[in-house]
């Protein structure tokens, strides 16, 4: 085969490959979305169980019906733990828990950020009676979690923690507080009888009086 013929075949091959990929893209764009709620119960239960915790929370925010489906039909894993950290994130922790230094696998589930004036969200959802701006956020590892935007961050933290705990029917496993300490102490005491791990994000940002108040109010297995 002469070099000219080989070059023509190469050009033709790349052109046909390009056309094939364009057809695949068009088919993918025209494919209708999965009618999840029209599937039999066992089928959509299996679909929900294959979702990540973040995807389940996001689905639950679509409507009251999806909230009820996620809450009542999903498989309840024994190892699911919710960690409210000092970075205004609610994390899901997996892996065996032995000590506070045990290596755990964490993934961000939902976060809270203070809303700014020029913010123009793509979506809003209802969370426990609050109309909340939301956006999918990608972290440094390429994983996505749901970001929520509030006028008051601590109100947002309390609200999303209550929402997710109710949805997954679990209590918070770990709570790390950064500010608004007394109000957060009282909220935590009212929502659950004890927490496995409790800590203050920055000990220098809390008064001795508030710190002692929290120690008296919070029943924790481990204090950080």
Alpha-carbon torsion (67, 68, 71, 73), positive or negative: negative
Cα distances (angstroms) measured from residue 155 to each of 99, 122, 143, 150, 198: 31, 22, 25, 8, 19
In a domain, 215, yes or no: yes
pLDDT over 90 (residue 135): no
The confidence score (pLDDT) of residue 95 equals 61
In a domain, 41, yes or no: no
In a domain, 54, yes or no: no
Range of the domain at 178: 174-224
Q: Could you read off the pLDDT of 194-219 as tens digits, one per residue?
A: 888 888 766 567 777 877 777 777 78
The confidence score (pLDDT) of residue 19 equals 57
Q: Do the strands 172-177 and 144-150 form a parallel or antiparallel pair, or are they unpaired?
A: unpaired
Looking at residues 131-136, what average pLDDT do you find?
87
The confidence score (pLDDT) of residue 92 equals 87
In a domain, 223, yes or no: yes
Question: What does pLDDT average to over the chain?
Answer: 77
In a domain, 211, yes or no: yes
The confidence score (pLDDT) of residue 161 equals 93
pLDDT band at 160 (very low <50, low <70, confident <90, very high): very high
In a domain, 147, yes or no: no
In a domain, 198, yes or no: yes
Report the alpha-carbon distance of residue 190 to residue 119 in Å, rounded.
33
In a domain, 220, yes or no: yes
The confidence score (pLDDT) of residue 180 equals 76
Looking at residues 38-42, what average pLDDT do you find?
71
Q: Could you read off the pLDDT of 44-72 as tens digits, one per residue?
A: 777 788 888 888 888 888 888 888 888 88
Place of tokens 């070099």: 3
84: which strand partners? 90, 175
Cβ atoms of 136 and 166 within 8 Å: the answer is no
Q: Identify the burial level of 43 via C-beta atoms within 10 angstroms of its C-beta, where 0-12 means exposed, 13-18 middle and 19 or more buried.
A: exposed
Count of domains forming the chain: 1
């Amino acid at each position: 085969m002469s070099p000219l013929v080989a070059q023509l075949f190469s050009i033709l091959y790349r052109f046909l490959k390009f056309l094939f990929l364009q057809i695949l893209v068009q088919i993918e764009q025209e494919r209708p979305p999965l009618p999840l709620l029209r599937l039999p119960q066992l089928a959509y239960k299996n679909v929900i169980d294959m979702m990540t915790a973040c995807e389940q929370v996001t689905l639950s925010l679509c409507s009251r019906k999806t909230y009820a489906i996620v809450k009542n039909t999903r498989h309840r894993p024994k190892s699911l733990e919710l960690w409210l950290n000092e970075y205004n994130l609610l994390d899901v922790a997996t892996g065996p828990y032995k000590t506070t230094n045990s290596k755990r696998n964490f993934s961000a589930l939902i976060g809270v950020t203070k809303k700014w004036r020029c913010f123009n969200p793509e979506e809003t959802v209802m969370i426990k009676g609050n109309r909340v701006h939301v956006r999918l956020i990608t972290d440094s590892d390429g994983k996505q979690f749901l970001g929520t935007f509030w006028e008051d961050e601590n109100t947002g933290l309390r609200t999303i923690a209550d929402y997710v705990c109710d949805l997954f029917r679990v209590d918070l496993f770990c709570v790390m507080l950064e500010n608004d300490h007394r109000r957060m102490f009282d909220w935590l005491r009212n929502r659950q009888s004890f927490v496995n791990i409790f800590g203050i994000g920055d000990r220098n940002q809390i008064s001795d009086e508030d710190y002692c108040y929290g120690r008296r109010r919070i029943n924790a297995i481990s204090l950080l």
